């Protein structure tokens, strides 16, 4: 048995039936002499202090998992993602499966997947002015009505050239099923070591998504004479305004998100189910 004494519950307070699920979990842990600490996500909540947790439950949807990963990855705390929403690519455990999934993990029967995360640094005038971490993706795009932005893209040793597009997505394999997929990008196994560079509606049709090794560094420079304001978004949850000549460095984070795997269904079964790969009229 794993030594689990202290569990953090990260809870999306907007989900249906959340109170009953939390009460059930807290009651179960109380009977097993395991401490629980409740943290409710409700608007712009102040992140909780991370102190000695052995495990965290993410109770919500994929957005709750993204928040949990950014918070907990630096500490190597495993996350059990319980889906209280409608979709759930990352949050694979259904709300009526949490007890079975936890007990299997507790008994050493469920493994933990390590998911690559992104470290982002905004450089302005030669100085680092902001740093972010993301599990899904970062996006550089117009901050207002959809307009083309002009960006220069390079890797550590290679110039990729200038892009005129609605924006650029740099995605992890975990995020390959999110915005990048909607923008025509490839879907990768979430535990791969790679990044996807995906232009959004590029003006030049020859610009296509590319997959680069996880150890690469990607540099996105904001060109001068933009016709719109430009922003950087991280996981669709955080935003930062950018100015002409700013440079965003994107690289693999030192720490990975530790997400407990479900044995009910694997990633490809989730894809087939969620994306309706049935071959029928709904496909």
What is the tens place of the pLDDT at every residue in 60-118?
999 999 999 999 999 999 999 999 976 667 877 888 999 999 999 999 999 999 999 99
Structural domains of the chain, count = 2
In a domain, 283, yes or no: no
- Note whether 205 and 223 are same-domain residues: yes
pTM of the model: 0.92
- Sheet of 118-124, strands arranged across: 127-134, 118-124, 247-252, 217-222, 149-155, 159-165
Same domain, 226 and 145: yes
In this structure, are 38 and 126 located in the same domain? no
Pick the catalytic residue: 3, 17, 62, 246?
62
Q: Residue 281 domain-assigned?
A: no
The pLDDT value given to residue 276: 72
pLDDT in tens, 4-45: 999 999 999 988 889 999 999 999 999 999 999 999 998 776
Q: Is residue 102 part of a domain?
A: yes
Q: Same domain, yes or no, for 34 and 61?
A: yes
Where helices occur in 32-91 by DSSP H, the ranges are 62-72
Paired tokens of 114: 């390590």
Residue 282: pLDDT band with limits 50, 70, 90: low
Q: Is 200 exposed, middle or buried (0-12, 13-18, 19+ CB in 10 A)?
A: buried
For the segment 229-271, what is each residue's pLDDT rounded down to a tens digit?
A: 999 999 999 999 999 999 999 999 999 999 998 887 677 777 7
Say if residue 135 is in the same domain as residue 229: yes
Round to whole Å and give the CA distance between 198 and 54. Answer: 36
CA proximity to 198, closest of 185, 179, 217, 212: 185
Structural domain harbouring 124: 118-252
pLDDT recorded at residue 215: 97
The secondary structure element, H or E, covering residue 115 is strand 112-115
Q: Per-residue pLDDT tens for 172-185?
A: 999 999 999 999 99
Could you tell me if residue 280 is inside a domain? Answer: no
The CATH number of the domain holding residue 157 is 2.60.200.30
- Whether 166 is catalytic: no
DSSP 8-class letter at 46: P
In terms of domains, do 229 and 138 share one? yes
Question: Burial, 60: exposed, middle or buried (Cβ in 10 Å; 0-12, 13-18, 19+)?
Answer: buried
């Amino acid at each position: 048995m794993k030594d689990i004494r202290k569990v953090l519950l990260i809870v999306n307070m907007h989900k249906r039936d959340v109170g009953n699920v939390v009460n059930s979990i807290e009651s179960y842990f109380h009977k097993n002499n395991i401490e629980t600490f409740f943290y409710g996500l409700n608007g712009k909540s102040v992140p909780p202090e991370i102190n000695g947790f052995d495990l965290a439950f993410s109770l919500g949807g994929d957005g709750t998992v993204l928040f949990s990963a950014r918070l907990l990855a630096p500490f190597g705390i495993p996350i059990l993602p319980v889906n209280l929403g409608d979709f759930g690519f990352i949050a694979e455990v259904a709300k009526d499966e949490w007890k079975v999934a936890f007990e299997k993990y507790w008994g050493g029967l469920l493994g933990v997947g390590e998911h690559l995360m992104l470290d982002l640094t905004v450089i302005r005038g030669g100085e680092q002015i902001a740093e972010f971490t993301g599990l899904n993706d970062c996006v550089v795009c117009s901050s207002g009505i959809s307009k083309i932005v002009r960006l220069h893209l390079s890797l550590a040793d290679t110039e990729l050239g200038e892009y005129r597009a609605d924006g650029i997505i740099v995605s992890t394999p975990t995020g390959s099923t999110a915005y990048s997929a909607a923008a025509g990008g490839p879907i990768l196994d979430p535990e791969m070591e790679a990044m996807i560079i995906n232009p959004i509606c590029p003006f030049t049709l020859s610009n296509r998504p590319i997959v680069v090794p996880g150890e690469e560094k990607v540099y996105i420079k904001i060109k001068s004479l933009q016709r719109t304001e430009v922003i950087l978004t991280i996981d669709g949850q955080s935003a930062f305004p950018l100015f002409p000549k700013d440079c965003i460095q994107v690289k693999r984070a030192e720490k990975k998100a530790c997400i407990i795997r479900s044995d009910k269904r694997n990633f490809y079964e989730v894809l087939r189910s969620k994306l309706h790969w049935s071959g029928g009229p709904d496909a």
